[in-house]
Structure 1
Amino acid sequence: MQSRLVFVHGIGGLRDPARELAAWTQALAVGMREAGHSAAARDLVSEGSGEQVFVHYADLFGRGQGQGGDVPGAVGEAGVEMEGEILSDLLVAWVDGLAAEHSDEWHRQILDHARAEARPRAQEQGSLAVVRRALNVATTLLALKPWGGTAQWITPKLMVSHLRQVTRYLARSDLDAQGISLDLRIRSRVAEAIGDGPAIVVAHSLGSVVALETLHQLSSPIPLFVTLGSPIATRTVVWPRLLPQPPGVPDGVGEWLNFWDRDDVIALRPHLERELRPSAGGVIPISRRVDSDGTWVHDAEKYLAQPAVAGPIAQALARMAGGASGCGGSR
């Protein structure tokens, strides 16, 4: 059967899907070659060798995301309050995660200041106050410069705009003209890309949350589910808001590999197998650490170029091409 590979991106601005698909595919081919799968790498970038899809949903967050804009739909007072609560929780969890990685006095002082800014204030009123607090935290964190000059976040406004994508997705509001919530609109795009399956799904960052929830809604066989830099198990923010509850592995998934980098500031609780219930078939996530070079390791292409990530994907594609059923994959 023809292989089908579905990529799901994370937070960030508007993208050119064709350009992103080429970049992600090329990065994955690099990792495949380093893992000893040169033929698979060659096939991956050859026309007609299989179907690769890049699911783009950043446009659903509103126009101007690339410039830090934020144009919501019909959110409602309850939705606004929920977004503010989630953003507050996200800021605190993120600062606490960074603090666990830095013990020297200079970093500790900055992070202590950021933590104080991140925590909600009793007199705080409205979502704008939460956003102002988030901007203050972002300004402080950018002083740490853990992301370097090549990071996607250049200004506090852009950082907060992108982080608010997480809050807007998890708030389950932001209705369109037909009354469909933002998170449902995003998942529908992923579901359409996966189709009836089988498909290998590779999801990065917020995309791992989107893909997980989508797979629970589908009966499509997924021989391999790969998550990169995932925030799924962030206990105070993402984990308690996942659908369905309690969080678990979708029954259609044959194998789930979760990759994290020690220096990835987004993957705060990387060992998903400790946090999610197994599927009906007994499948659990298997978390594996990788180590990338540079100051900003959360980038999807860095993960994809890792042999430890690319090798299992090459093997799964080969099994699909050979007609393997997929579910109940190798351990």
Structure 2
Amino acid sequence: MEASLVFVHGIGGRRDPATELSAWLEALALGARNAGHSREASVLARNSCSNAAFVYYGDLFASRQAQGESLESLERDEAQALQQLLEDLIDAQLAVQSGDGERRVLEHACAELTMMRQSQGAGDLVRRLVNVCTTLLALPGVRRAGQWASGQFMAGHLAQVARYLGRVESDESGSTLDQRVRSRFLRQLDEARPTVVVAHSLGSVVAMEALHHHGGHVPLLVTVGSPIGMRTVVQPRLRPQPLVAPGCVGRWLNYWDRDDIIASRPLLERDVLPNAVGCRPVSHRVDSDGVWVHTATKYLAQASVAGSIVEAVRIADESETA
């Protein structure tokens, strides 16, 4: 019985799961080849990794907009969570940015957030938050990357973190948005076989929470570009508390890039307790090329990241056939 490889995406708009799976495998193949795993790289490059799956849940976030609603339909506590998220991102970037242009943009955005203390109502707060995001789009890396066409798009994608952690938006059966997202993930796991999980951005939050309810074995959990370390908006809302590594996880590697604005508090081992087998996150810095380093494929193309993943899958395969 072969091990499974499950990918979990982060914030963003609609995407095609098959196309995403192919792109993630291609990036992983590049990283594996750079790490010296040529045989595994060839399998991945042919897109013939039969036990790989891509967990897609973006349509669950898009449903509210599809019903004619907009960012202004955010509840006030969700809007406040988005505000706290932006405050965390800006504070973290101010601590590492040394360029005058970048600092001016960040200080302007910080001043806009400070002026928002008097905002009345969620709608007014959201409009102001969109303005802050529009300011942040002037950051050279964000602007050149073209990740977001407008402050509205940026705010909408970042708000997905607040919406997930808000734990509302129930469907006709009473299942909340976060429950439906975790269900999508858990349906891709087979308790009868070991599963290596690779989770990006918001997907790392989804995976960490969901794996507490998984009865199978996860020899390796890899998180990349994770916001779990945000102590103001994310950590207090995570479940269960106190934060502890899921019991099914044997090893947890967390990768972060200094220029990744989402992974603003990257050293997760400072905040997550070990599980019963002593597993807790171990964080490693990577340095990617390009102006926008938050994408999952940038991380997967790193030799250190890909090497750890393919080695874990191979070891799990060998232990199952022994």
- 1-side partners of 2:219 and 2:169: how far apart? 33
Q: Deviations over 1:171-200 (max 9, x none)?
A: 011111111100000000000011314100
Distance 1:53 1:132, change over 3 A: same
Gaps in structure 1 of 5+ consecutive residues: 326-331
Distance 1:50 1:319, change over 3 A: farther
Aligned runs of 1:103-252 on 2, under 5 Å? 103-119=98-114, 121-196=116-191, 197-252=193-248
Q: Could you tell me which residue of structure 2 aligns to residue 274 of structure 1?
A: 270
Q: Is contact 1:63-1:70 (8 Å) kept? A: no
Q: Deviations over 1:223-268 (max 9, x none)?
A: 1000001010111011111100011101110110000011111101
Quote how far apart the aligned CAs of 1:103 are.
Answer: 3.0
Query: Which residue among 300, 316, 321 is the counterpart of 1:320?
Result: 316
Q: Is contact 2:9-2:203 (8 Å) kept? A: yes
Letter of the structure 1 residue corresponding to residue 122 of structure 2 = S
Q: Is contact 1:88-1:119 (8 Å) kept? A: no
Letter of the structure 2 residue corresponding to residue 209 of structure 1 = V
Aligned runs of 1:245-324 on 2, under 5 Å? 245-324=241-320
Q: Is contact 2:116-2:125 (8 Å) kept? A: no
Greater helix proportion:
2
Runs (4+) of structure 1 moved beyond 6 Å?
A: none
- 2-side partners of 1:288 and 1:108: how far apart? 26
Q: Deviations over 1:151-181 (max 9, x none)?
A: 4212111101101111100101111111110
What is the SS of the residue equivalent to 1:246?
Answer: coil
- 2-side partners of 1:83 and 1:121: how far apart? 15
Matched, 1:14 2:10: no
Quote how far apart the aligned CAs of 1:107 are.
Answer: 2.9
Query: Which residue among 67, 78, 83 is the counterpart of 2:78?
Result: 83
Q: Is contact 2:25-2:47 (8 Å) kept? A: no
Quote how far apart the aligned CAs of 1:120 are.
Answer: 6.7
Letter of the structure 1 residue corresponding to residue 33 of structure 2 = R
Distance 1:49 1:294, change over 3 A: closer
Q: Structure 2 length normalisation: TM-score?
A: 0.93
- 1-side partners of 2:44 and 2:98: how far apart? 43
Q: How many residues are aligned here?
A: 318
Q: Is contact 1:7-1:53 (8 Å) kept? A: yes
Q: Structure 1 length normalisation: TM-score?
A: 0.91
Aligned runs of 1:56-71 on 2, under 5 Å? 56-63=56-63
Quote how far apart the aligned CAs of 1:312 are.
Answer: 0.9
Q: Percent identity?
A: 50
